[in-house]
Structure 1
Amino acid sequence: MIQTVKHRYAFILAALLFYLQTEGQHTKEPVDYVSPNIGGIGQLLTATIPYVQYPHGMARLAPITTPGITDRYLADKIYGFPAGPAILMASVGGDSSVHTQDCASDFDHDFEVSTPYYYAADLQTWNIKAELTATMQAAYYRFTFPASAHAHLVLNMKDHAEFTVVGSNAVEGSEKVIGPVGELSGNAGETREYFYAEFSKPFPSYSTWQGNDVGHEEKRSGDSLGFVTDQRTNDGEQIEVRVGISYISTEQARRNLERDIPQWNFNQIKTNAQVVWNKALGAMEVQGGSDRQRTIFYTALYRSLGRMTDITEDGKYFSGYDHAVHNAEGHDFYIDDGIWDTYRSLHPLQLLLDARQQEDMIRSYLRMYQQSGWLPSFPSVAGDQEVMIGHHAASLIADAYSKGYRDFDLNLAYAAMRKNATEATMLPWRRGPLTSLDKVYFEKGFFPALAKGEAETVSEVTGERRQAVSVTLENAYDDWCVAQIAKALGKQPDAEYFTKLAHNYQIVFNRDIGFMAPKSADGEWVADFDPKLGGGQGGRDYFTEVDSWIYTYSVQHDVAGLIQLMGGRDSFNKKLDQLFVEQYGTSKFHFLDQFPDATGLVGLYAQGNEPSFHIPYLYDFSGQPWKTQRRVRQLMDVWYGDGPLGIPGDDDGGATSSWYVLSAVGFYPVCPGSPVYEIGSPLFARSTIRLGNGKTFQIIANHVSDRNKYIQSATLNGKPLNKPWFEHADIANGGTLILEMADQPNLQWGSSPAAAPPSMSNQAE
């Protein structure tokens, strides 16, 4: 009897614990899952940054940690916080001659709170609690001080800066914008970032400095500027700082601050930001899966909503492309987009969630074209960074148009796409007129590589070298995108011309070795080419960051044609199978030394680099979609985590995260510009996507689990679906995809040649 009672109480206790756990899951909001420190340690290269910001917001805030420690999560000190172009820090002790570099503080992640809308850390060196939150164009800080006779708030500025002390509680100023790769291109002029910082407690005294010159001047200009307050604080006393930012003027920065943070109410601004993020993340609701998977998913979605950045201020915007202020005319202006990274899955994901915003992003590209003469490759606030290869703005435009979103000037868009495609050099990390190398592409159908032992003779080639095969492949895809818009406008000669260029991938496929390979200008294959290790550092003589094992599959627009080139489905599948098990040809150490971007390796497939992203979905084209289902699950499970090592490579502003978001709900766009999504294997029992038009699209995966990853059958909008893809039109007005899942593959589902997704070669041209 006693034993029975014990069992009953044990059962009740277990049920209570289960109830509490499930209740916690039920009431947990999307933003509560987000862990911004995921990826804070890079696999080899760049770590993520735990930004506090609004989705696409101008104010991007994160602690500034120890210089030189690129794995931010492992940094030992906080040096300050962004205040527009200035660095804000708090300290105690000493006198008002304290400089920011003397104010760095130890911190500990165990005494830290990091969310998309709020960050807090103990500045342990000073016994100060630092908190921050953000609005669209303003930052809000709260510092809780100990009792001190000398408490300091410090603003530090670097180069080409200026500031003015305004009364007893404000500082305003600006600094010239310098990009991450140095001076930015654009027309004559400069771009400045402005700020207006207001303190909740007037500062009884302050000092300013320029270099080693310390005094009390109200105005300073030049390099290495600073401002520091000196005041008495009681234990637990809070001093707040709110900062407006602008690219137009200090007056506009002040207006932005007064609009976004009209009162001193930190908790309200924090709550507002939390609500904004819950709404944004709530656009995708997932049910089922594990708590870990939901954490990874919502963190990836948060990272997918950071860029592009909306820099519209009260209906106006500053453009670094003509260095003028323009009226936005009801359409926001966006910058900050590494399109080589983002065209693949980030923009298609954002298009699903807010198509009107994507149309404004396209309008922004077109404004940049009008103001500078080119479609940019990496639009920043101060001009084009001229990063990477290809003219992938063509993909952004073609993808939106193909899916029915057309609130932009299509004729202007086509003129811009055509000019880039025919008049802009294809050289990596460069923008400008055609070179002799580009002319080979147009005349012979490939971008020429150096012959074996040949010295570089073309002066326009930079340290990024020619990347000749990748340049050919990526421009062939871009040319296909241009052809789609030419067709839409009825420009048949142009459509035929660019479609011909879109076949150029065939010219660099060496049938003798079964790989994409480099050709020299005379049309001969480069001798002794090694598809695995050829091309030097990063493969850059021939490829972009990875090798031919990956770039051989960089034919998103014509997978059917690539399959034919490789000898048919069986040969293609055999080669694709080998990619995921092929080893390095040297030690892993030496391979990664040569290809540091090739992280997240499964065989020679590199989940940490964007050219790989579509490759696991290619089995949908070759009659073995169950292998896609297996591989995408493996990649999600192995290479994405919920800790500081949780990103397989550079996230590149959400590009790598967006792959996970789409794959986790069960589909992916192999070829942006084609209104089609290829099906993978969802992680969640039910995923609801709230489309920007108010409709919803649901993916229901019955019986899904870790082992039940294989699709047995499917229905789309109530009708049987026997192919591993669907069209955007099928879901644009809402719909439901139901997948029946099991632990063994159904080798017949979606495997017939007729079930393959569309490609250039199997569509009428």
Structure 2
Amino acid sequence: MIVFFNNLKRCLSLFFMILICSCVNDNGAIVQKDVVDYVNPYMGNISHLLVPTFPTIHLPNSMLRVYPERADYTQDLIHGLPLITTSHRGSSAFNMSPFNTLTNPLEPVRYYSYDNEKITPSSYQVYLDDDRILVDYAVSHQSAKYKLTFEASEDAFLMLHSKRGALSWDGTAVSGYQFIENNTKVYVYLKPLVAPDKVSILKEGIQIQGTFTEGNQAAIILTFHNNRVNFALDIDYGVSFISEDQAKNNMLREVSGKTILEIKNKGKEIWNQALGKLKVEGGSEDDKTVFYTSLYRCYERPVNISEDGKYYSAFDGQVHNDNGRDFYTDDWIWDSYRAHHPLRVLLDPGKEEDILNSFILMSEQMEHFWLPTFPEITGDSRRMNSNHGVAALIDGYRKGLRNFDLKKGYQAGKNAITQKTLAPWSGKPAGELDDFYKEHGYIPALYEGEVETIPEVHPFESRQPIAVTLGTSYDEWCLSQLALELGLDEAYHHFLKQSYNYRNVFNPKTDFFHPKDKDGKFIEPFDYVFDGGMGARKFYGENNGWVYRWDVPHHVADLIALMGGRENFIHNLNQTFAEPLGMSKYSFYAKLPDHTGNVGQFSMANEPSLHIPYLYNYAGQPWKTQKRIQKLLKTWFRNDVMGVPGDEDGGGMSAFVVFSQMGFYPVTPGMPVYNIGSPTFKSVTLQLSNGKSFKIIAKNNNTGNKYIQSAKLNGKVWDKPWFSHEALRDGGVLELEMGAKANKTWGTAPEDVPPSAKPIYPGSE
């Protein structure tokens, strides 16, 4: 009976959490909205420079993802109808093209003029206006349903396309596969609920008799003789990374026998449950749209690829039993460790444990027992720099997650950092560059025109010596903390000392991290804005020296000490937001295309910048964190098609928005504390998996009242600009009294700053 009432209480709580959102219609009446109704998949679909967001249709962390295949929102045509997208920014692995009129030659995928498009997180509608075909679509986890309505009373055609694979008709359904890369295949099983009158294949643009086709641009055509207006064709399909039979099983399990409305309603229910774990009150309708759209983005990856207790692993090319635990991949850890993983620890700790367990399984399945850095559907692509999987492991463990093997995780992380090369975009074993790092504590830089001779360095990339030195220093701090948790005293002290290696490239004359040559001399002359070529990769990585100046999240107190104390640290922070671009935008972005969303030299568009506005908390001026966070959110994240400042990375940046709008942020994954910012809403309630809730109340909160005047934590006066994960986990209330002018005394005392490692490691100097 107790269990019954506890479950009832949770259900009612979620029910009211979902229904509490409301808005006023044009007639002034209050209209209740589900939280999923606040999601705008079009937000950010026009990029400021590089990659836009995509209006992705999927269920939370599910394998099947699709979106209209076009460059961005401005493109006038869509390229076929998608069946599955195997990466959050890739093209569809299979395309489906309905049409009424045969052309000669016939292209394997048609381009469509379209109108009246409507996208929700789990459904899609569009009118193909030239072809007069209405498309309705609803998605499940590994299968989906299309409903095509052909308005013309003439023959209807349906063409299925695989770029590099095979398709066949067995008298009931089309099945087949497509090669992606790294010997990975994706399979499809597609069943029209009306039998075709004719089946043919496409050969060099010509329709010929046949029921099987393979190779490049394989296409099969189903013909339906039709003399009715508004001929409706329902199509069920499933996808798989295991086999065609498994794709069929996925379809039968999830969508067969269901109407498209039933699938839509189920999808909406699932999204409401996921998004409803966070309830907000106050703020504008646009604020809520930005919040819930950003939260929806955080569920786009990684993806669960377990299918009926099995999964295909591209890490060893085998099908494995999942032993009752879901297997996740497509996680770009280079950026997701900062806020994406910490957010999931709060909202889905069980799922996060499965993700961390998947990292360890990947390590065991690969040739070397190395923690992955950029695991995708097709294996670990080893992109970007550093080995930040260790950060996700220690952050989860420190916040109470236990359902993964910490010892194996530590060993895989240690191997990745000490046995694999530190050279970015490379999966080769450690070599000359790594030997130098182990001896001297930094990655040496090359002078302009100096030819790269080290084979571990990717031929397209470069050493990125500052980015790698700083990133590895943090990774080694994470290793030290993992070793501490495991009682490995010698390893703890070794890696803790290594975690100060960023000091080896700090230039005390300029207060920047400055590349050094192999002889220990700073590269001179040097420009912290522009040197480093395209993307500043010769020395940094996608961002310039002004951003990497702050990339020491584990030892902020030591960074303050390096800069000579609080006053100069604050001065340097202020200058980051004030320093001009130094040349025209055209010239600046030609060199630094990832460095958009600028406020001075600060870039809101790239993940290495996300923690920077919170650093004022460490130096006695939390009011400036409050000011900057509000301005950054209002400026760069908006409810419109250009409302995201840069490459959003499928949740990597959106997690910053979710945290910051709630009013706090995890500056240092691995330290179980949160920095307080300035909340967007009057109240935010986090429904925790342990049945408890944590609530943030911002009294007198509005657009003008961005500054914290005073605070209470669980009824007691709280003068610190941070709070612990333990306080959040145990449930409670953080009350913030807000005002229009800064309280320049709240949270400023040296003893009240957020925790950080000691300024100097004993014995290091």
**TM above 0.5, one fold?**
yes
1:603 pairs with 2:608:
no
CA contact (8 A) 1:61 1:139 kept: no
One-letter code aligned to 1:624: Q
**Structure 2 residue 38 is the aligned partner of structure 1 residue 33:** yes
Q: Does 1:228 align with 2:235?
A: no
Cα pair 2:153 2:231 within 8 Å, conserved = no
- Residue equivalent to 1:436: 432
Deviation at 1:125, TM superposition (A): 1.3
Which residue, 186, 194, 202 being the options, matches 1:201?
194
| Deviation of 1:761 (Å) | 1.4
Alignment of 1:698 with 2:702, yes or no, is no
Contact in 2 for aligned 1:211/1:225 (Cα 8 Å): no
Q: Conserved in 2, the CA contact under 8 Å of 1:451 and 1:519?
A: no
> Contact 1:158/1:225 (CA < 8 Å) preserved in 2?
yes
Q: Does 1:131 align with 2:136?
A: yes
- Map 1:145-184 → 2, pairs under 5 A: 145-159=150-164, 161-167=165-171, 169-178=172-181, 184=182
Q: CA–CA distance in 1 between the matches of 2:721 and 2:415? A: 36
Aligned equivalents of 1:705, 1:93: Cα separation in 2 = 57
Other-structure match for 1:93: 101
Which residues of structure 2 form unaligned runs of 5+? 1-22, 85-92
Per the alignment, residue 709 of structure 1 pairs with: 706
Pairing 1:460–2:456 present: yes
Check conservation: 1:689, 1:697, Cα contact below 8 A: yes
Query: 2:200·2:221 contact (CA, 8 Å) conserved in 1?
Result: yes
Secondary structure (helix, strand or coil) at the match of 2:144 reads strand
Shift of 1:42: 0.6
Contact 2:105 2:206 in 1 (8 A): no
Partner residue in 1 for 2:726: 729
CA distance in 1, matches of 2:54, 2:159: 23
Which one-letter code corresponds to 1:74 in the other structure?
Answer: T
CA distance in 2, matches of 1:461, 1:352: 38
In the alignment, is the contact (CA less than 8 A) between 2:108 and 2:218 conserved in 1?
Answer: no
Q: SS where residue 256 of structure 1 aligns?
A: helix
- Comparing 234-243 with 679-688, which one deviates more in the overlay? 234-243
What letter is aligned with 1:271?
N
Taking the TM superposition and a 5 Å limit, the aligned residue runs for 1:277-356 are: 277-356=271-350
**Are the aligned partners of 1:334 and 1:361 in contact in 2 as well (CA < 8 Å)?**
yes
Q: Aligned letter for 2:479?
A: V
Following TM superposition, by how much is the alpha carbon of 1:262 offset from its aligned partner in structure 2, in angstroms? 2.5
Partner of residue 6, structure 1: none
Report if the CA contact (8 A) 2:484-2:492 is conserved: yes
- 2:212 pairs with one of 219, 239, 248: 219
C-alpha separation in 2, matches of 1:307 and 1:193: 18
Tell me by how many angstroms 1:19 deviates. Answer: 10
Moved more, 753-762 or 736-745: 753-762
Q: Pick from 630, 633, 645: which aligns with 1:633?
A: 630
Q: CA offset at residue 17 of structure 1? A: 7.4
Query: 1-side partners of 2:127 and 2:256: how far apart?
Result: 27
- Distance in 1 of aligned mates of 2:710 and 2:454: 56
Partner Cα distance (2:383, 2:575) in 1: 32
| Residue number in structure 1 paired with 2:49 | 44
RMSD of equivalent CA atoms = 1.6
Secondary structure of 1:637 counterpart: helix
1:440 shift after superposition: 1.2
Q: Counterpart of 1:482 in structure 2: which amino acid?
A: L
Shift of 1:232: 3.1
In structure 2, what is the Cα distance between the partners aligned to 1:302 and 1:207?
41
Percent pairwise identity: 40
Deviation at 1:21, TM superposition (A): 4.2
Secondary structure of 2:758's counterpart equals helix
Please give the per-residue CA displacement for 1:558-593, whole angstroms capped at 9, x wherever unaligned. 000000000000000001001101001222221111
- Within 2, Cα distance between the matches of 1:617 and 1:743? 19
Alignment equivalent of 1:417, drawn from 413, 417, 423? 413
Q: CA deviation at 1:510?
A: 0.3
What's the CA shift for 1:733?
2.3
Counterpart residue identity of residue 36, structure 1: P
Report if the CA contact (8 A) 1:93-1:148 is conserved: no
Change (3 A) 1:98 1:229: farther
Equivalent residue, structure 1, for 2:508? 511
Q: Does 1:499 align with 2:496?
A: yes
Pairs within 5 Å for 1:242-281:
242-281=236-275
Which residue, 149, 158, 161 being the options, matches 1:144? 149
Q: Distance in 2 between matches of 1:22 and 1:709?
A: 30
State which of 429, 440, 444 in structure 2 corresponds to 1:448.
444
Matching residue's letter, 2:543: V
Note if contact 1:617-1:670 (Cα within 8 Å) is conserved in structure 2.
yes
Equivalent residue in structure 1 for 2:358, among 359, 364, 370:
364
> What is the one-letter code of the residue matched to 2:132?
N
Question: Which residue does the alignment assign to 1:181?
Answer: none
What amino acid sits opposite 1:163 in the alignment?
L
- Counterpart CA distance in 2 for 1:20 and 1:148 is 41
Whichever residue aligns with residue 376 of structure 1, its letter is P
SS in 1 for 2:729: coil
